[in-house]
Structure 1
Amino acid sequence: MDQRVTARPLTRIQREKQEIILEAALEVFSTHGFRGATIDQIAEAAGMSKPNLLYYFGRKEDIHKALIEQLLDTWLAPLEEMDADGDPIPEIRSYIRRKLEMARDFPRESRLFANELLQGAPRIVDLLEDRLKILVDEKAGIIQRWMDEGKLVQADPYHLIFAIWATTQHYADFDVQVRAVLGKNRGGEGRFEDAARFLEQLFMHGLKPKQK
């Protein structure tokens, strides 16, 4: 007889409670970092008692892990969508656009991820070395093939991906600085479209093969 116990699926109310906790924790972690965040802060932000919160998540680490796993699903989606059979220039242009849209729409998630990396990624290093590396290896291989076929100029595909990450996520992680420097006339929502046009020009000009 199989003695394994299958966990009961969560009820709708339990799922809603977990989402409330995770939303509150995202705000707390992205503001204070993992070390500065406390269960009491998260419970207060979620509008529930500490014992009630601990019923759903036993430790701060469990909440943080759940957030990071959700974040990776969101964060990796734009790179996953890069189509090996597509036209390289539009594919990379679309990737830049999607990454900027994420900087615009998910600034707290970006800060959460950046905070974790700045601490040496002690809680997610396995995910970086496994899931992230596998995906980047795959897409770098696609970009290298495009280069070998003469559709893009030769360059290091890994550092191309890193450069896109750095330039697009800047608009989330350093948004206060961006808005301050651009000023009130240029620091509104249009800054993301301005950034998209500039980055497309920067990367596309550097990647297009010269006409023979």
Structure 2
Amino acid sequence: MSKQAVDFMELSAYRKALDTSFVHRYSHGEDEWSWDIGMARAARIFLAALGDRPDQRILDVGVGRGRDASELIQAGHRVTGLDIVENSSWPLLRKRWGERLELLNSALQDWQPVDGRQFDAVLDNGCFHHQHPDEWDAYLAHMRSHVRQGGLIALNVFGVDSSNPVPGWREMDNQRQGYFFTEQGIRDTLESYGLTWQELVVIERQHGDAMYLLALVRN
């Protein structure tokens, strides 16, 4: 698996392109991931995998409009949500959940908690597959550094399908890119960064034959 399958723009320019893309999508109500049934199912599978231990501290990477964070809080957990763009839902989320939800405008690879806290688990429901290939190392290293030893990490990524069976990068809106994995490809990728494989769940997306691959791993 080559993560250099396309010619990427320079890193800082790509970060600006991601920001532009997501600001546009949220401001125009085009954030279809906020109500995507496959992503909602991924969050429920993650919640079930957390087990019965109450009041766990969860890091939600790409918190968006807080759909997954709200479900986790309703199940009794505390959530810190990161996102590269803030959207109009955040003031109401803060008002509704109070101290049980912390929302922060930051990329994962740039963020360090001021109190040095570690989390019991991390949910990345659709962010890793958009990262610039030069940041995969930093992205996953930061993720691991924020999770306790043995903690659960869930990454939900684009999977290849019958209409596009070849893994690799595909261009999206406003120069945003998405990497589409095979089942073995996402396992090999995460294990190569030191994560311990637990399970893969294949989830149908809400259009066409498209698939998500939900990888459950341990730190």
Query: Is the pair's TM-score, using the shorter chain for normalization, greater than 0.5?
Result: no
Q: Which has the higher helix share?
A: 1
Which structure has the larger Rg?
Answer: 1
Structure 1 length normalisation: TM-score?
0.25
Structure 2 length normalisation: TM-score?
0.24
